[in-house]
Structure 1
């Protein structure tokens, strides 16, 4: 299976300028990009609550899909998250993808009342959360999931989301990458945390896990978050001309199977989003099969 390549831009959840996220989302929507991603760090005082913000932005836009990058599982119980995601998916006509993460910044999570998890516990908790969420998106009359970290017993699902609501994991470590290939619909690595030298082996690990699970690796959405600048020619990756960006994105698609790219402009947000949408995205689409 070959998935169509998606393109998006990140929207900063900062409330320093209360209206800035809406202006950014409207610009991305007008530019014709496919996705808007929003970080989820509930403990940061400078940020809006991500779920509230993406719901508000979805109501004020018309076509772009939204992805929390990634929903903070330790602070968002999976049964409630499943209900929230299904509700927003139905209300927006299918414009949500559920990015999900095991958690980070554990001191801040604990300070906000969440659990502290380390090592394999993070993987097991994330895996159990997927089971809970999928059960609550099913058409079963009631569901029961018994896990070490999460349990539901006799809970009635609803509303039923559309088929486009997928679970995309933010994952870097070997066990998390295995979980992507085994259970998830998509993968959201970031250049900041998984550079170009490590992206290829990580993608191969996801593919190998998918094959062992009897899944087609080509069915997994792989979205690379890229911070950079579209500008003059440069020897630095993702800080060059539109032609350089196109060449780099095409190579990521061909060499590592990446089929989605989200731009995180490092300056001059409006102009950068417009240039990315007008000068990079169409040329990249034309260069790919």
Structure 2
């Protein structure tokens, strides 16, 4: 087949490493250009806090340290996406990833539903359990129970988004309990906001199969990726869910992606690529890079 036959969505990550994501004019111009180029979504990252001299191991770099400076501007992703929603009309708005243990699910359900309703159903949540113990503990959660907590949080989110009973929703769990909870507005879509599971562990793949709408194992390929996707699909079948309905999101760079590389990733199971722009604070240069990428991928009009 030709490379043009496969279906792929292309997301662009907000360039947090450039230190520009809290600059309103820069980000508004960036978001408008992402939309004009024909990309499908904008992705915002999260760290509620970065603890100075953390000892936790960052799993996505051989150094064990993330590339961001401890004092880098990292805006709250939902607040940033709400701001970007006001400057765009079509492009989807995604987290990538939201550190789920940092959030109380009742409050998160309200915030996400509000953003989804006011943006016309454009929100996608990619969530993870987090890797920085110091951050999670600073937010009040136990690091060792964050997996079980995340499962329950997802259940609470879906319950509060879909319940329309006149008496409200009840929940009795290990971490959260409430009675008669009624929260409005509901998300724009009847089933609620899509929840994708970020991470490259077997636990993440199982969670995606049993509770998620997809898996985002950025940085994984080859046999390891096949193992995770097979596990996700088996878990979906065991849970009585349709494995073919689950999406897979992988990563690449804006500068290096080509139709051939995207096609190869599609053959591995990818439905979406999150593209990382070069970490430049020169908006004109970033726009040029995005335009050239869109042209290569056949997105530009």
* 1:103 equivalent in alignment to 2:122: no
Deviation of the 1:226 alpha carbon: 2.1
Spell out the pairing of 1:55-204 with structure 2 (5 A cutoff). 55-111=82-138, 113-118=139-144, 121-138=145-162, 139-141=164-166, 142-163=168-189, 165-191=193-219, 194-204=220-230
Q: CA 1:262/1:16 → structure 2, altered by over 3 Å: closer, same or farther?
A: closer
How many aligned residue pairs are there? 262
Instruction: Tell me how far apart the structure 2 counterparts of residues 16 and 86 of structure 1 sit (CA, whole Å).
Output: 23
Deviation digits for residues 55-109 of structure 1, max 9, x if unmatched?
1111111110101111222222111111111111111111111222212211133
Deviation of the 1:151 alpha carbon: 2.4
**Kept in 2: contact 1:167–1:184 (CA 8 A):** yes
Deviation of the 1:24 alpha carbon: 1.7
TM-score (norm 1): 0.83
- Return 5+ residue gaps in structure 1 as ranges: 231-237, 239-244, 284-289
Which structure 1 residue ranges, 4+ long, deviate > 3 Å from structure 2?
A: 13-17
Deviation of the 1:178 alpha carbon: 0.6
Q: CA 1:176/1:7 → structure 2, altered by over 3 Å: closer, same or farther?
A: same
TM-score (norm 2): 0.80
- Return 5+ residue gaps in structure 2 as ranges: 1-5, 51-70, 280-284
* 1:275 equivalent in alignment to 2:278: no
* 1:249 equivalent in alignment to 2:262: yes
Q: CA 1:130/1:276 → structure 2, altered by over 3 Å: closer, same or farther?
A: same
Q: Which residue of 1 aligns with 2:78?
A: 51
Q: What is the RMSD of the two structures over their aligned residues, measured on CA atoms?
A: 2.2
Q: Which residue of 2 aligns with 1:261?
A: 273
Deviation digits for residues 8-51 of structure 1, max 9, x if unmatched?
11113434772332222121011111111010112144222222
Instruction: Tell me how far apart the structure 1 counterparts of residues 234 and 288 of structure 2 sit (CA, whole Å).
Output: 40
Q: CA 1:149/1:89 → structure 2, altered by over 3 Å: closer, same or farther?
A: same
Deviates more, 1:268-277 or 1:76-85: 268-277
Deviation of the 1:251 alpha carbon: 2.2
